[in-house]
């Protein structure tokens, strides 16, 4: 059986951050990185906009400002991003403040989906040059703590330390792992929302600020704005047992591509559940299935103009050349009525946020604007950590979005650094 000093599961930013830090500090370590896909599947690959300002992407349960900034500096020193210029922020921020909305001033870089792929390839090649062994297309299935072994779909391996960073897509896998290992966890928080798609001139702030972060009342916020060559996409969730359901998302290509004149972004509301239901995942799954039921197995899209009039959208709401004059970038969605499947409290918070946003950036509530539902973020899988380095059991660390230690690329990278620091400290 092959033995590695450290096995890292997941080649997303958390796994990569950990691997680079371990090899930088201790080049003699024998390190294996595993990924079930050929290329990492999270945000590095999709749009790849990176935020370098506290607290974007850092869950406050695991980080404080000093710690977040300490790690952010290290992330930035390694990635050396090109920070984008912003304009007129004071004007928007003042307008927002007057109506109880906050606009965060965030340092951002943006590579686009094509640029992100280039970055992943370069990082993997660099890691390989540093001596890491990388096995793509290999899936971790389980772990046996007593013998320090990991079972994959190809072999059994021994580890000195193990970092599991499977991202949001590995949410269910991580829960299964925690149940097998007897690690306590809770997942009582979830973000539920919609994705907005509109013409760039109806959300012109993106010309001044690539991904404007607005915070509204009722724990509602804008998230993941894409523009220039922007597209709405769909992600598949669920398993054989529960059946599939879908969440929408968005990404953009780099500046090299031609513009399609559209913008998309999410408006999300954070929902925290208490007794007796404490599983955000189960709640999200029910909502996802409800949307899939009403959408005939697909997400639902509705023009704001229809929603305002209290009527569902039909196919002709998306082929009209007059008022509804742009076509959806995810045309496979079902035209329908999102208010039939989104919880009323969530819809109220989102609708209120949209009205406030339309006051700060007039135009976003144009009748042609499309609302896609559901956009659900499952990243609150909070294990009980035994130390500040995200260790859950002796020699086993969880990092990244899947374990609720981050909500974005830079924070995921930082969480990988933190796990690596723990391993280096203990060796
Ligand atoms: C479409 C999309 C767009 C996004 N855009 C952005 C953005 O622009 N900016 C931003 O900051 N964040 C973005 N995010 C969020 C971002 O992806 C995450 O915050 C970040 O990637 C989390 O990093 P991670 O390392 O925890 O997980 P991931 O990046 O998700 O990586 C986890 C890796 O683990 C692998 N894996 C999972 N299970 C196993 C297993 N059992 N065995 C082996 N490998 C496994 C997966 O294949 C995956 O490659 C986006 C997310 C999505 C889905």
Does ligand 1 lie within 6 Å of residue 48's CB atom? yes
Closest atom of ligand 1 to 138 CA is 43
Nearest CA to ligand 1 atom 41: 140
More confident residue, 170 or 208: 208
Is the predicted pLDDT of residue 380 greater than 70, yes or no?
no
Does ligand 1 lie within 6 Å of residue 270's CB atom? no
* % of the chain residues with pLDDT over 70: 99
Does ligand 1 lie within 6 Å of residue 14's CB atom? yes
Closest CA to 236 of 400, 139, 57, 378: 378
Is the predicted pLDDT of residue 108 greater than 90, yes or no?
yes
Number of H helices, E strands in the chain: 9, 22
**What's the rounded mean pLDDT across residues 256-264?**
96
Q: Residue 195: CB partners within 8 Å, gap ≥ 6? A: 232, 248, 249, 250, 264, 265, 266, 371, 372, 373, 375
Nearest CA to ligand 1 atom 33: 10
- Going from the Cα of 335 to the center of ligand 1, the distance in angstroms, rounded, reads 29
Does ligand 1 lie within 6 Å of residue 116's CB atom? no
| Tokens read off for 138 | 């290999």
Structure confidence by residue, pLDDT tens digits, 35-69? 999 887 666 888 899 999 999 999 998 999 999 99
- Going from the Cα of 90 to the center of ligand 1, the distance in angstroms, rounded, reads 33
Structure confidence by residue, pLDDT tens digits, 117-152? 999 999 999 999 999 999 999 999 999 999 999 999
Does ligand 1 lie within 6 Å of residue 143's CB atom? no
Structure confidence by residue, pLDDT tens digits, 287-336? 999 999 999 999 999 999 999 999 999 999 998 778 888 999 999 999 99
**What's the rounded mean pLDDT across residues 187-194?**
90
- Going from the Cα of 6 to the center of ligand 1, the distance in angstroms, rounded, reads 20
Say whether the peptide bond before residue 59 is cis (omega within 30 degrees of 0). no
Residue whose structure tokens are 């922007």: 230
In this predicted structure, what is the pLDDT of residue 34?
96
- For strands 220-226 and 334-335, give the pairing: unpaired
Closest atom of ligand 1 to 410 CA is 11
Is the predicted pLDDT of residue 379 greater than 80, yes or no?
no
Of 11, 36, 42, the one to substitute when testing ligand 1's pocket (max ligand atoms within 8 A of C-beta) is 42
- Going from the Cα of 12 to the center of ligand 1, the distance in angstroms, rounded, reads 5
- Going from the Cα of 176 to the center of ligand 1, the distance in angstroms, rounded, reads 18
- Going from the Cα of 388 to the center of ligand 1, the distance in angstroms, rounded, reads 22
User: Are 328 and 370 a contacting pair, CB within 8 Å?
Assistant: yes
Nearest CA to ligand 1 atom 35: 10
Residue whose structure tokens are 């907005």: 196
In this predicted structure, what is the pLDDT of residue 72?
98
Does ligand 1 lie within 6 Å of residue 404's CB atom? no
In this predicted structure, what is the pLDDT of residue 39?
81
Nearest CA to ligand 1 atom 39: 166
- Going from the Cα of 125 to the center of ligand 1, the distance in angstroms, rounded, reads 19
* Domains, the chain: 3-85+109-186+381-426 (3.50.50.60), 189-377 (no CATH)
Q: Would you list the DSSP string of 45-65?
A: TTT-EEE-STTTT--TTT--H
Closest atom of ligand 1 to 251 CA is 3
Structure confidence by residue, pLDDT tens digits, 217-257? 999 999 999 999 999 999 998 877 888 999 999 999 998 89
Query: Among 205-214, 218-227, 316-325, 398-407, where is mean pLDDT lowest?
Result: 316-325
Does ligand 1 lie within 6 Å of residue 42's CB atom? yes
pLDDT averaged over the chain? 94
Closest atom of ligand 1 to 40 CA is 49
User: Are 22 and 375 a contacting pair, CB within 8 Å?
Assistant: no
Handedness of CA 167, 168, 170, 174 (dihedral sign): positive
Does ligand 1 lie within 6 Å of residue 375's CB atom? no
Does ligand 1 lie within 6 Å of residue 41's CB atom? yes
Nearest CA to ligand 1 atom 18: 408
Residue 397 forms beta bridges with which residues?
Answer: 163, 391
Nearest CA to ligand 1 atom 1: 46
| Tokens read off for 132 | 């890491």
Nearest CA to ligand 1 atom 26: 400
Closest CA to 252 of 191, 324, 331, 197: 197
Nearest CA to ligand 1 atom 4: 43
- Going from the Cα of 41 to the center of ligand 1, the distance in angstroms, rounded, reads 5
- Going from the Cα of 214 to the center of ligand 1, the distance in angstroms, rounded, reads 23
In this predicted structure, what is the pLDDT of residue 239?
75
**What's the rounded mean pLDDT across residues 246-270?**
95
């Amino acid at each position: 059986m092959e033995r590695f000093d450290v096995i890292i599961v997941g080649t997303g930013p958390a796994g990569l951050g950990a691997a680079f830090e371990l090899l930088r500090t201790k080049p003699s370590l024998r390190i294996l990185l595993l990924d079930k896909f050929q290329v990492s599947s999270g945000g590095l690959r999709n749009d790849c906009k990176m935020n370098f300002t506290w607290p974007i992407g850092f869950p406050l349960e695991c980080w404080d400002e000093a710690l977040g900034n300490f790690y952010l500096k290290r992330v930035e020193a390694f990635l050396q991003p090109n920070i984008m210029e912003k304009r007129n922020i004071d004007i928007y921020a003042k307008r927002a403040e007057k109506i109880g909305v906050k606009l965060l001033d965030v340092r951002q870089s943006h590579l686009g989906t094509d640029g992100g792929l280039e970055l992943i390839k370069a990082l993997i090649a660099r890691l390989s040059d540093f001596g890491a062994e990388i096995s793509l297309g290999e899936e971790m299935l389980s772990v046996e703590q007593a013998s320090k072994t990991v079972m994959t779909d190809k072999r059994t391996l021994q580890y000195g330390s193990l970092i599991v960073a499977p991202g949001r897509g590995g949410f269910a896998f991580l829960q299964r792992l925690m149940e097998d290992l007897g690690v306590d966890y809770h997942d009582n928080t979830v973000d539920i929302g919609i994705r907005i798609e509109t013409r760039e001139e109806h959300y012109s702030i993106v010309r001044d600020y690539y991904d404007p972060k607005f915070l509204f009342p009722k724990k509602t916020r804008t998230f993941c704005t894409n523009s220039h060559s922007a597209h709405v996409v769909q992600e598949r969730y669920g398993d054989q047992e529960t059946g599939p359901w879908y969440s929408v998302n968005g990404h953009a290509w780099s500046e090299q591509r031609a513009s399609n004149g559209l913008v998309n972004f999410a408006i999300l509301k954070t929902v925290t559940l208490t007794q007796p239901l404490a599983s955000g995942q189960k709640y999200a799954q029910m909502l996802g299935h409800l949307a899939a039921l009403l959408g005939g197995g697909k997400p639902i899209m509705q023009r704001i103009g229809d929603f305002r009039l209290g009527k569902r959208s039909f196919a002709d709401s998306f082929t009209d050349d007059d008022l509804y004059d742009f076509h959806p970038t995810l045309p496979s969605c079902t035209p329908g009525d999102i208010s039939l499947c989104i919880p009323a409290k969530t819809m109220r918070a989102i609708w209120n946020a949209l009205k406030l946003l339309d006051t700060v950036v007039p135009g976003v509530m144009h009748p042609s604007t499309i609302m896609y539902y559901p956009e659900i973020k499952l990243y609150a899988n909070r294990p009980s950590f035994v130390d500040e380095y995200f260790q859950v059991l002796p020699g086993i660390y969880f990092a990244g979005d899947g374990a609720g230690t981050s909500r974005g690329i830079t924070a995921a990278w930082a969480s990988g650094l933190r796990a690596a620091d723990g391993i280096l400290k203990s060796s």
